[in-house]
Structure formats: C-alpha cells, structure tokens
A and B are shown apart, each in its own frame.
Chain A
C-alpha cells in the first residue's frame, strides 16, 4: 500500500476553502423552490457555470493506477466486494477464468479487472482494474435531471438513489461506461458504481482496493500530488512508461489517474475524448435558452401584430372602395 503523507498546512488551507465553497453553495441552493421551478423553464443556466466552481475542490483526493505494476490478481475486486457489502460473486475472486471475456462494472460489482493483449509481449498479458474515474466535472452529474450525483470536496462522485427516477441518462453520458443499473429490480432499481470508498476516505482511511493491492499498483492521495508522483515515475523510468497520464486532461480531468507502458487504447480506454469537460458541449445550447425565451415572444408577437395590422388596413381599404361604389 502506498499513501502520500498529507501536508498539514495545505490540509488546513483546503479545509478553509472547503468551508468557503460550502457556504457559497448553500447560498446558491437557498431561494424558494418555486423560484427555481419557474426559473427552470427559462433556464437558470448560470448554474451550469456554478458547477465549474464546485468541481475544482482544491484538496480533492484521487488514485493513481500504475498499469505496469498490476498483476491481475483480483485482490482489489475482492476487497471492494467485502468493504462495500456487495453480493457474493458467481465465480470466486481467485478464479482467473473470468479473463476469458471483457467485463465491466455491474449492479453487483463496483470494479472488475480485465485482461488485455500486450502488444509488446504476447505472453505477458496486461491487466486493468475498471471503476468510476470520479471525473472533475462528471458527465453523469451534468446529465442527471434530478441532481442525484454530487462531486464531493473529497473528490468522490456519489450517487443518491433516493432522488433517482431511473432515466439512465447518466449512463448514456458517462464516457467511461461506468454506471450500472440493476434492471432486475422492479421496485427499487438503482444506479450502482464505485464510491471511492467515501466513508473510509472521509475518516482518513484509504480505499479498500488500494489497500488490498499486493504490488502497490494503486496509490491513493491528493490528486495534485498524484500527478507529481506520476510525472516523476515517468521521468525516472522513460523506458517503462509512455509519456501520458490518462485522466490528467481527459474530459476535463479525472480523480482516478493511470500510467502505462503502452498506449491506453490497448487497455480499452476511449481515445476519442475531448480535453474539455463534456458539459462544455451543452453549454452553448443551454446558453441559448434564455435568449429564445426573450426573443421569440417579441419576434412572433411582432409578426402577429404586423400581419393583423396589414389585414386591417386591407379590410379598411376594401371597405372604402365598397363605399365609393
């Protein structure tokens, strides 16, 4: 296990900043529900930018997976399953037959380890643990119409089943195919995904998967510091790593970061993602909403009025001509 020792001074500062943003957030949430409701139609889309303010929590945590170290033992899967009280798996965690197919997180597993072909050496397959990347500006959260997701100051992106109505737009939006849905349940179906062991990290612990990894492939710490760690590793071992920290910039950056010896496509990471947060793609549209609300009534009102005016004029002219006759 690896853990970066926290610097008490920055800790203090970040706490202060946390408090500050908490207050501003509360201010933003007050205001009667009715006002929000009314404004909802017109679009209070400055909130879209409000999101931005909250995403940059300064001292937020993250994990760094060193893909070159992972040996595919699935200890992390087991630890996650136990730490989060998930149902017993169909195939035991020490069974490597699961690697025959590509798996993904499901309603019963927050994380899965997959095996990939090594382009450098056929006999040494690659492994990657898949879980939520806890994006800086999560697409899942931008998608949800009920605000069921929260990007916490600690970095974890959390989902609240009490709010969700199951539209599954968050699953459409997540660029990493992370959220899973328990379609089996008729009464209480919900989204399921990795919680970055929120309860543990909140009390100073580290995620169960990072803790369990026998080769120290997962480092938990402050995201900003993890980036430095990753840089240093890449610099000191240029033969071992390619010069790319996946998650540093992808879709605006993620809390979970990866370094690797081969291009990330070989691990099934999407390579076609923009650098800016996905919410940026919809901002132009949402920004146009208030414009439509103000311009349309004026425009169509004018058209209506002028056409009626012309009709009246014509009628009048017509009437006068009639009279002349």
Chain B
C-alpha cells in the first residue's frame, strides 16, 4: 500500500467516523447551533475555574468549610448522579434476566447512560477530592474495610469497568471491527448479575454513608432505612431516567435513531412508566415506614417537616400519580412529564440528605449551604461536557440503532 492511499484511507475513516461522513467545512458549519453556543459559553467559564481549583486549591472556588466538607459537587454529581445512572443495571436486568425482550431498543441507551453517569460521578468526585491523583489509594495503599466509603469506591470502580465492557460491543461495531463477536450468553448473564450485586450494594451504600452521622442529619431524613430508601429510589429513578433520555434523543437526535427505536418508543415509554410508578409507591410507603419507625410524626409540623412533606408529597407522590394517570390512559406524553418530574424528585432527595438536612442544627445553616457562583459554574461545565460526550457517542455509535451488518449477531 503506498503512502498516498494510506492517507486517503485515514481521511475517509476520519470523515466517516468522527465527522459523521461530512467534510471539515461542512462539519464545522453544522456545529454552529444555539445549543453549541450556550455550551461554548458555559465551558469557557467553567473550564478556567476548574484550572483555578487545581492551581489554588478548593478554597478558591468552593464554599467548602470545616463544618460543611461536602457541597454541590458531591450532592449533585455523586449523590444525584449515581441513582440516575442505575439505568444500565435496571435495563440489563429487565432485558437479560427477566426476559423483557421488547425493551431491546432501549438497552444500549440504558447502558450508555449508566456508564457515562458513573464516569462523570467519578469526575465530580475527583474535582472535589483534596488529592485526586490518589484516587486509587483505597485499592492499593490502605484498606478501610469498616468504611462504607471503601465499599463505594471498590464497587463504583468495578462497576464502571463492567459497564465499559458491556458498552464495548457498540464501540467495536462502530469501528467496524471484524472481531466483534457476541459475548457468550453466560458471560453477558454473568456481567448482568455482577451489575445487580454491585448496584444494589453501592446504591444503598450511598445512603448508608450518612448512617455514621445521626447527630448531624435531620431525624426526618436520618433513618436506619437509608440504604433501602436509596436503593429503591434508584430503581424508579433509573426507569424514569431512561424515559427522559430516550425522549431527549428522539427529540433532538432523531437522525441517530433507527425506525425500530422511534416507532416503538411511545409504547415502551408507557411500559417503563408502569414500572416506575410501582417503584415510586413502594418508595413512598418506605418513607412513611421510616418516619413511623422512629416515631417522628411530631417533627412534621416544624419547618423542616414541611420541607420533608413537600419532598415526599410534591416530588414523590404527585409524580407517581401523574405516571399512574399516564399509564392508565396510555399517554406517553403524560408519562414523559411524570418521568422528568420524578427524576427531579430523586435529585431533590439526594440534595436534601447530603446538603439541606445535613447540619440542620448549626446556626445560620441555610446561609452556609449556598454555593458560590464558581461552584455552580464548574458543575455546569462538567454537566455540559457530559451532555456533549453523550451526544457525540449517540451520533456516531450504534446506540439507538442497529448496524445492519451486526444485526444477526444479537
């Protein structure tokens, strides 16, 4: 092969894979959209702030203090992000273990959402860690085996790997690798079950982290049921999140999807909605059991009690009823609305546990938890990179469509 053809080959590979079959000028012209403009602005503010954080320390961009070691970087990025990333495990379990074959068009989307969700949870965490370059320490340097966070670290790392392997099929298909082969069924089942184990444990572990702080977390949120609450809400959060993500893909990236995906989406949305609303009622009941167990009813009359009621009535029960209504009337539109609402509710719960109800008894508490704008800007930038990478992958790899030549492999 002469040098010339090789360059030519590379060029066509580059255009085909990275520019989605367009030439440079065409591709760059296509990049100028209002969304991308907003993205550029957010990144141009957030990325320099990230650099400042790494050069001048956390104090330069966060409100982190000795009483408030954790802020929105973790409250949003880790505690909010991980339940919304249960999508891979929930869709994998439904499809591979319980045999809901009809959900096939959404399985890869679920896995990608989960994989990126975890990846970015780790990125938020690394932004917040004092010495992020030591992230591997719990694996090699010291074993705090009595620590719940030790469990979280191991499980998130392992699960991230499992999800990457699960998603690698799509990457290989995209590269048109001749070596794509279907994972042996038993391996897929094995990975799915590993995913179930790891997910049940670390989802609940995120709640269990706060069990160590009975004196600091408001009694309405502190409960020995915290692990159960975190786990059960992550399951419905995942179902709702698949609805949210698939809705966004169908609306904004229809070109990346095949007919199979687009045609079945409404029906599948209602099906997922059904699962989500069952999960939400279970969670709602568990929340009440938690209050009853500690006999905390009397606290409901306090300001924090009102906030608690707003959370469980306004952001759990109400979206659950909305989903029920949508499912009963087979209305994908209402189900979608309910799903967006439910997802917001889960994030609100995690922010409540990790930020708003934490240290509630310190003077001036509500004043202290307001993050500085720099912290918001960093969070916005990371979230934007997350979205851009998600879009980049969905546009190129077979996530919501099937590659014809690999079809028979599935």
- Quick one: given A285-B208, A300-B196, are A189 and B214 in contact (CB under 8 Å)? no
Complex Cα distance, B107 from A302, in Å, reads 22
Complex Cα distance, B361 from A286, in Å, reads 28
Question: Closest B-chain residue to A161, C-beta based?
Answer: B131
- Quick one: given A45-B145, A147-B142, A279-B146, are A307 and B69 in contact (CB under 8 Å)? no
- B113-143, CB < 8 A from A: 125, 128-132, 134-135, 137-143
Q: Out of A146, A188, A285, A307, name the residue touching B142 (CB < 8 Å).
A: A146
Residues of A within 8 A of B210 (CB): 172
- Quick one: given A145-B138, A169-B209, A181-B66, are A40 and B59 in contact (CB under 8 Å)? no
Q: Which of A63-71, A211-219, A225-233, A291-299 contacts the other chain?
A: A291-299
* Least CB distance, B15 to chain A, in whole angstroms: 42
Residues of B within 8 A of A105 (CB): 66
Q: Do the beta carbons of A177 and B67 come within 8 Å of each other?
A: yes
Complex Cα distance, B150 from A286, in Å, reads 11
Q: Do the beta carbons of A165 and B135 come within 8 Å of each other?
A: yes
Q: Do the beta carbons of B54 and A303 come within 8 Å of each other?
A: no
A173 close to chain B: CB less than 8 A: yes
Interface residues of B: mostly helix, strand, loop or mixed?
helix
Complex Cα distance, B56 from A42, in Å, reads 39
A164 close to chain B: CB less than 8 A: yes
Q: Do the beta carbons of B224 and A281 come within 8 Å of each other?
A: yes
Q: Do the beta carbons of A286 and B214 come within 8 Å of each other?
A: no
By size class, the interface of chain A is 35 or more
Residues of B within 8 A of A102 (CB): 363
- B53-107, CB < 8 A from A: 53-59, 62, 64-67, 69-70, 93, 96-99
Residues of B within 8 A of A36 (CB): 143, 145
* Least CB distance, A77 to chain B, in whole angstroms: 17
Q: Out of B53, B134, B201, B212, name the residue touching A173 (CB < 8 Å).
A: B212
Q: Do the beta carbons of A166 and B212 come within 8 Å of each other?
A: no
Chain B 332-347 interface mask (CB, 8 Å, partner A; 1/0): 0000000000000000
Complex Cα distance, B214 from A270, in Å, reads 11
- Quick one: given A147-B143, A281-B224, are A190 and B130 in contact (CB under 8 Å)? yes
Residues of A within 8 A of B358 (CB): 172
Q: Out of A37, A44, A169, name the residue touching B149 (CB < 8 Å).
A: A169
A132 close to chain B: CB less than 8 A: no
Q: Do the beta carbons of B137 and A146 come within 8 Å of each other?
A: yes
Residues of A within 8 A of B146 (CB): 45, 47-48, 50-51, 142, 279, 282, 286
A163 close to chain B: CB less than 8 A: yes
Q: Out of A188, A289, A308, name the residue touching B201 (CB < 8 Å).
A: A289
Residues of A within 8 A of B208 (CB): 282, 285-286
* Least CB distance, B271 to chain A, in whole angstroms: 17
Complex Cα distance, B204 from A165, in Å, reads 23
Q: Do the beta carbons of A181 and B141 come within 8 Å of each other?
A: no
Q: Out of B57, B70, B189, name the residue touching A172 (CB < 8 Å).
A: B70
B153 close to chain A: CB less than 8 A: yes
- Quick one: given A172-B213, A296-B196, A300-B196, are A164 and B131 in contact (CB under 8 Å)? yes
Residues of B within 8 A of A289 (CB): 151, 201
Q: Do the beta carbons of B142 and A166 come within 8 Å of each other?
A: no
User: Which residues from chain A sit less than 8 Å from chain B, CB to CB?
Assistant: 33, 36-37, 40-41, 43-45, 47-48, 50-51, 102, 104-107, 139, 142-148, 163-169, 171-173, 175, 177, 179-181, 183-186, 188-190, 270, 272-274, 278-279, 281-282, 284-286, 289, 292-293, 296-297, 300-301, 303-304, 307-308, 311
Q: Can you pick out 11 interface pairs between chain A and chain B where the beta carbons lie within 8 Å of each other?
A: A33-B140, A41-B155, A47-B145, A143-B147, A148-B142, A167-B130, A169-B147, A172-B69, A189-B131, A281-B214, A285-B208
Top 6 closest A-B pairs, CB basis? A166-B130, A168-B69, A183-B59, A165-B134, A146-B142, A145-B150
User: Which residues from chain B sit less than 8 Å from chain A, CB to CB?
Assistant: 53-59, 62, 64-67, 69-70, 93, 96-99, 125, 128-132, 134-135, 137-155, 158, 189, 192-193, 196-197, 200-201, 204-205, 208-216, 224, 227, 358, 361, 363
